[in-house]
């Protein structure tokens, strides 16, 4: 606006706020439909998060195999025990993750929080933080696209159960996405130091969450190589120093827990099976990711967000490692949401006569997809909700068993007030690879210290993946199948022979 002797510069509206002339009543209707669609998506996402927090987070049943072991690690640290214990001694377990998540959970436990509830809410808050970063990253380009991408991320079927599991995946992804989004705000392509700190923190939340670090390095080397090399040198030295301190403080066990305990056999067949399982429910999101990447590469606009998306997809190939699950696809899903908010074409070369209608049609499709995903999540949540009474009953029954109890479901042990002893599968893999001596644990099975063993009995081959042949022989010799239950899977409780 111009006045006598003065010039006032008005802030430019976001691209989706620019209205073409001559739309009239039709433009108002399209605007109302667009607003209603965004509100519907946000409402569904808020409901999904709220339902998970209020109805499912307090559930005493196990959501994932590792939950009980992660909580046991946090409780040990909160009580003043070692972060990485000697696995040759009771409880015969390893903490397979870098320390940030465990330390946060231990801190919350020391403040009086229930570590199960705190861990689940921490994971859920991390997923919500990813959505918030996605929305903020695309807000100035297109609020509609930003809110749509953020909402669909929270509604994705993969959110159940991984947004609520007590494990560090969600926290690591949140730190990674925040680092990349912050780096993308720098027009010169040089990530700020805060972005580097967030990316390194992601690695210390989970050691495989290195895609953000790699994206920042590659992006920096393209634009300002000296600064990038300096950041790599400083960050690498700091990370090595922290690792050295952890190795020293743990009596030499840090690298055993976080590296050796994760060197499981890899299978491309397993990777393909899990990738197809992921794509069956998330084909639309991945198609958007591939399409946007192809467009950006063709236009030679390969920035830090695009690099992160590519690297996150490559890192997901680790799902082929024995013991891995669909949690490895959380990061590619988050990268797809961030790339959509960052690079979705808000003004395609179709002209104003076509673009508004096409945009509304896409938004209506997004609302439909969100509704389908929400229904999918709700359907898969119900068996978990129904398991709560049985989990409480089983905890009471396990509580009265004398001696230690070994269980494939470690969550039940903690709910029963029993210490977590032995980590099935992980310790079996270490023993068969010759990196851990199973002798002391076999002695505990034979000398009466262990009063019962809870084994997942179906599928029939699962016991061979959890226990070595020597362990299975010791269980068959010293214990008898006493009773069983179904909690997600069938389990058999083997009680010690008189």
Asked if residue 210 and residue 295 are part of one domain, the reply reads yes
- The length of the chain in residues reads 498
Asked if residue 406 and residue 325 are part of one domain, the reply reads no
Query: In this predicted structure, what is the pLDDT of residue 225?
Result: 85
Q: In percent, how much of the chain has pLDDT > 70?
A: 92
Asked if residue 146 and residue 133 are part of one domain, the reply reads yes
Q: Is 448 left (phi over 0), alpha (psi -120 to 50) or beta?
A: left
The mean pLDDT value for 470-489 works out to 95
Residues with Cβ < 8 Å from 283, sequence gap 6 or more? none
Domain boundary among 365, 385, 405: 385
Asked if residue 159 and residue 96 are part of one domain, the reply reads yes
Structure tokens at 448: 């009466």
Asked if residue 327 and residue 258 are part of one domain, the reply reads yes
Q: Is residue 11 part of a domain?
A: no
Q: Is residue 17 part of a domain?
A: no
Residues 340, 333: contact at Cβ < 8 Å? no
Alpha carbons 181 and 183: distance in angstroms, whole number: 5
Q: Is residue 221 part of a domain?
A: yes
- Has residue 21 got a pLDDT over 70? no
Q: Is residue 74 part of a domain?
A: yes
Asked if residue 492 and residue 460 are part of one domain, the reply reads yes
Query: In this predicted structure, what is the pLDDT of residue 462?
Result: 81
- Token look-up 């994932």 returns 64
430: containing domain: 388-496
CA 127 to chain CA mean position, Å: 8
Q: Is residue 210 part of a domain?
A: yes
- Has residue 275 got a pLDDT over 60? yes
Residues with Cβ < 8 Å from 199, sequence gap 6 or more? 175, 176, 179, 180, 212, 213, 216
Query: In this predicted structure, what is the pLDDT of residue 8?
Result: 43
Upper half-sphere CA count for residue 177 (Cβ side, 13 Å): 34
Asked if residue 266 and residue 415 are part of one domain, the reply reads no
Specify the higher pLDDT residue, 339 or 141.
Answer: 339
Q: Is residue 25 part of a domain?
A: no
Q: How confident is the model at residue 356 (pLDDT cuts 50, 70, 90)?
A: low
Q: Is residue 16 part of a domain?
A: no
Specify the higher pLDDT residue, 15 or 178.
Answer: 178
Residues with Cβ < 8 Å from 126, sequence gap 6 or more? 170, 171, 173, 174
Residues with Cβ < 8 Å from 392, sequence gap 6 or more? 60, 415
pLDDT tens per residue across span 381-409: 999 999 999 999 999 999 999 999 999 99
Burial environment of residue 154 by CB neighbours within 10 A (0 to 12, 13 to 18, 19 or more) = buried
Query: In this predicted structure, what is the pLDDT of residue 75?
Result: 97
Q: Is residue 146 part of a domain?
A: yes
Q: In whole numbers, what is the pLDDT of the chain averaged over residues?
A: 90
Angle, alpha carbons 197-222-341 (nearest 5°): 65
Domain boundary among 385, 408, 440: 385
Structural domains of the chain, count: 2
Asked if residue 261 and residue 404 are part of one domain, the reply reads no
Asked if residue 38 and residue 92 are part of one domain, the reply reads yes
Least confident of 2-16, 64-78, 333-347: 2-16
pLDDT tens per residue across span 80-116: 999 999 999 999 999 999 999 999 999 999 999 999 9
Asked if residue 376 and residue 253 are part of one domain, the reply reads yes
- Has residue 15 got a pLDDT over 80? no
Structure tokens at 280: 């069956």
Asked if residue 451 and residue 320 are part of one domain, the reply reads no
Specify the higher pLDDT residue, 231 or 161.
Answer: 161
Asked if residue 439 and residue 364 are part of one domain, the reply reads no
């Amino acid at each position: 606006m111009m006045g006598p002797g003065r010039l006032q510069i008005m802030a430019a509206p976001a691209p989706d706020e620019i209205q073409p002339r001559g739309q009239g009543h039709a433009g108002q209707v399209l605007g109302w439909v667009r607003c209603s669609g965004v509100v519907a998506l946000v409402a569904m996402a808020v409901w999904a998060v709220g339902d998970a927090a209020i109805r499912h987070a307090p559930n005493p049943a196990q959501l994932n195999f590792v939950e009980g072991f992660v909580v046991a690690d946090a409780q040990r640290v909160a009580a003043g025990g070692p972060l990485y214990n000697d696995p040759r001694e009771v409880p015969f377990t390893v903490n397979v993750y870098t320390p940030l998540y465990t330390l946060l959970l231990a801190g919350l436990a020391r403040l009086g929080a229930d570590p199960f509830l705190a861990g689940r809410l921490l994971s859920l808050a991390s997923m919500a933080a990813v959505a918030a970063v996605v929305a903020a990253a695309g807000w100035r380009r297109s609020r509609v696209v930003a809110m749509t991408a953020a909402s669909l991320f929270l509604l994705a079927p993969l959110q159940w159960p991984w947004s609520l599991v007590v494990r560090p995946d969600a926290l690591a992804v949140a730190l990674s996405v925040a680092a990349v989004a912050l780096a993308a705000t720098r027009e010169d392509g040089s990530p700020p130091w805060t972005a580097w700190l967030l990316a390194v923190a992601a690695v210390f939340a989970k050691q495989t969450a290195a895609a953000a670090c790699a994206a920042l390095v590659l992006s920096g080397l393209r634009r300002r190589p000296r600064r990038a090399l300096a950041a790599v040198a400083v960050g690498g030295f700091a990370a090595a120093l922290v690792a050295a301190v952890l190795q020293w403080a743990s009596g030499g066990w840090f690298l055993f827990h976080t590296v050796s305990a994760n060197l499981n056999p890899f299978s491309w067949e397993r990777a393909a099976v899990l990738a197809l399982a992921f794509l069956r429910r998330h084909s639309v999101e991945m198609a958007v990711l591939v399409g946007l990447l192809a467009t950006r590469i063709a236009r030679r606009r390969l920035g830090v967000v695009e690099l992160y998306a590519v690297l996150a997809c490559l890192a997901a190939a680790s799902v082929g490692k024995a013991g891995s699950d669909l949690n490895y696809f959380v990061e590619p899903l988050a990268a797809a949401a961030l790339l959509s908010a960052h690079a979705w074409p808000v003004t395609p070369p179709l002209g104003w006569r076509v673009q508004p209608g096409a945009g509304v049609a896409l938004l209506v499709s997004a609302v439909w997809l969100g509704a389908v995903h929400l229904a999918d999540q709700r359907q898969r949540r119900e068996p978990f909700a129904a398991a709560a009474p049985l989990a409480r009953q089983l905890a009471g029954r396990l509580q009265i068993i004398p001696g230690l109890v070994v269980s494939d479901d470690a969550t039940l042990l903690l709910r029963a007030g029993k210490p977590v002893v032995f980590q099935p599968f992980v310790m079996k893999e270490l023993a068969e690879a010759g990196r851990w001596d199973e002798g002391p644990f076999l002695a505990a099975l034979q000398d009466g210290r262990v009063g019962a063993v809870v084994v997942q009995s179906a599928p029939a081959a699962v016991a061979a993946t959890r226990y070595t042949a020597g362990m299975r022989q010791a269980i068959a010799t010293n214990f008898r199948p006493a009773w069983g239950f179904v909690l997600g899977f069938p389990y058999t409780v083997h009680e010690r022979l008189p």
